[in-house]
Amino acid sequence: MIISPAYAQAAATGGTESSLVSLLPLVLMFVVLYFIMIRPQMKKQKEHKAMVEALAKGDEVVIAGGVLGRVARLGESFLHVEVANGVELQVQRGSVVQVLPKGTFK
């Protein structure tokens, strides 16, 4: 006979303890993932939302395409950014990437 018969081993007495120990690395991995990736991203989203809500007429901003301009008009979900004299772009509020210090855009 080429294959020898396999016999089942007796069950270990500490079955629940060993299953908890085997789940520990998985739980630890999720905790580390939360503190390294998820929590900082949520903080960044909260800061961006506060910045967008605090926009006012005359603020100098950078929009998502890298275009600099001054906020000319505000709407509920859109705003008009003046990029040159008489040239306005209508963009969504969420596309504002950064608010610049006064005097940056001339």
Prediction pTM value: 0.71
How many Å apart are CA 87 and CA 12, to the nearest integer?
77
Residues ≥6 apart with Cβ < 8 Å to 98: 61, 62
Looking at the chain, the number of H-run helices and the number of E-run strands are 2, 5
Query: Which residue numbers in the chain have pLDDT < 50?
Result: none
Any idea which residue has 């789940």 for tokens? Answer: 23
- Quote the pLDDT of residue 6: 64
pLDDT score, position 23: 87
